[in-house]
Amino acid sequence: MAVLSRSDPEVYDAIKNEIGRQRSTLEMIASENFTSLAVMEAQGCVMTNKYSEGYPGKRYYGGNQFIDVTENLARDRAKKLFNAEHANVQPHAGSQANMEAYFATLKLGDKILSLFLPEGGHLSHGSPVNFSGQWYKIVHYHLDPETGTLDYDAIRKTAIAEKPQMVLCGYSAYPRTVDFKAFKEIADEVGAIMLADIAHIAGLCAGGAHPQPFPYADIVTTTTHKTLRGPRGAMIMCKEKYAQAIDKAVFPGMQGGPLEHAIAGKAVCFGEALKPEFKEYAKQVVKNAKALADELMAKGFKLVSDGTDNHLMLVDLRNKGCTGKEAQNWLEETGITANKNMVPQDDKSPFVTSGIRLGTPALTTRGMKESEMKEIAGMIDKIIAAKGDPAATAIARGDVIALCGKHPLYPELKW
């Protein structure tokens, strides 16, 4: 970044400090990952200069012949990755993708059935502080309070009683496999559209480590920057039946010019995810999560649903005598980045919480395996037992730096 370093040293320094932070910490936020340098090169390119309202072959501006190449590559690769009949790769973010999917298929005031946010849902699935909760009627289903898992019979009963226009599955903090077929059957029984928001698990679906939402889902929304390991952004896929409505809802319905540099990055990401190595990656993410979960449980930690099938786990800290906020801070001081999270039947506020969410996608990208997960579980156990004690924190910080040093991030970058 020689040009930037001369032209804007303040921004340059912040970027340089950020790569230093990423290199020297253990990234355990379940929704984060490290893209390849190829994705970043594509994303940081001249395609940011171009207006391309419309779709490949049907643009409102001239000069889109090469933009069409990357957008078509992204669309075709996305369809192949997820066995989708149609893909729209223009949504700027996961929340916009959901907004556009609702706009395409629902009327204001229609009813959406989704999981309650504090139990693992997402803001854009009907939270009262989000547009979704204000523009649509929201009915929530809940996790089984005993097992912490989806209760399909209860969801079906709520659907029959409430007759929603849309049944939504897809979560930000749910550690178990989602049964898309069961959701489709429930949606069909009440004549609702089934939307699967696979923002978190997209990379696992694409890599064969979680079942695919198609052919069951009518519409699938996803981010591209979580387990899928692409640039920050999103897309919507759907059955051919909904293709025209989705495309119209994205443009001109909700967005103007697409971020074609981000779409170039998405194309590269999907190309990477089609390679056999990505299947290995997705499998390792799940193996690592299982290893971390098993070791934490062996150390007396309570996990919601007693384990994990995917890339994340929710640690319920109520038996450890601390809050999610405290644990997040203590971990952060040692260089382990995670986030506090509500657990089912949480009596604390969302700013405090009784749990933390831990994920393995980013650590797995750094090449860590089961043995490192065991080591990290040991570190977490000690850090939480020490309750922020400065001497213990300093020792743990040293352990984190040593482990990061064994798995260098972006070693090709000269910084």
Residues taking part in catalysis: 51, 53, 197, 223, 226, 232
Is 113 or 377 the residue whose CB approaches ligand PLP more closely? 113
Is 199 or 317 the residue whose CB approaches ligand PLP more closely? 199
Q: Which amino acid is at 73?
A: L
Shortest Cβ 30–ligand PLP spacing (Å): 9
Q: Which residue has the tokens 């090469």?
A: 66
Q: Which residue is nearest to ligand PLP (CB)?
A: 94
Q: Is 394 exposed, middle or buried (0-12, 13-18, 19+ CB in 10 A)?
A: exposed
> Phi/psi zone of residue 327: left (φ > 0), alpha (ψ -120 to 50 degrees), beta?
alpha
Is 59 or 261 the residue whose CB approaches ligand PLP more closely? 261
Shortest Cβ 31–ligand PLP spacing (Å): 5
Is 94 or 324 the residue whose CB approaches ligand PLP more closely? 94
CA distances from 288 to 293, 370, 377 (A): 8, 5, 11
Alpha carbon 287 to chain centroid, angstroms: 18
Q: Return the structure tokens found at 335.
A: 């260089």
Is 170 or 175 the residue whose CB approaches ligand PLP more closely? 170
Shortest Cβ 207–ligand PLP spacing (Å): 18
3-class SS of residue 238: strand
Rounded to 5°, angle at Cα 233 from 311 and 245 = 110
Shortest Cβ 415–ligand PLP spacing (Å): 27
Shortest Cβ 132–ligand PLP spacing (Å): 10
Is 24 or 149 the residue whose CB approaches ligand PLP more closely? 149
Report whether the peptide linkage leading into residue 258 is cis, meaning its omega lies within 30 degrees of zero. Answer: no
Q: What are phi and psi of 139, to 5 degrees?
A: -120, 135
Query: For residues 221 and 198, what is the distance between their CA atoms, to the nearest angstrom?
Result: 6
Dihedral over alpha carbons 172, 174, 177, 180 (to 10 degrees): -60
Which residues sit at the interface with ligand PLP, rule CB under 6 A?
Answer: 31, 93-95, 122, 124, 170-172, 197, 199-200, 223, 234
Q: Return the structure tokens found at 15.
A: 């970027």
CB-CB neighbours of 75 under 10 Å: 24
Shortest Cβ 345–ligand PLP spacing (Å): 21
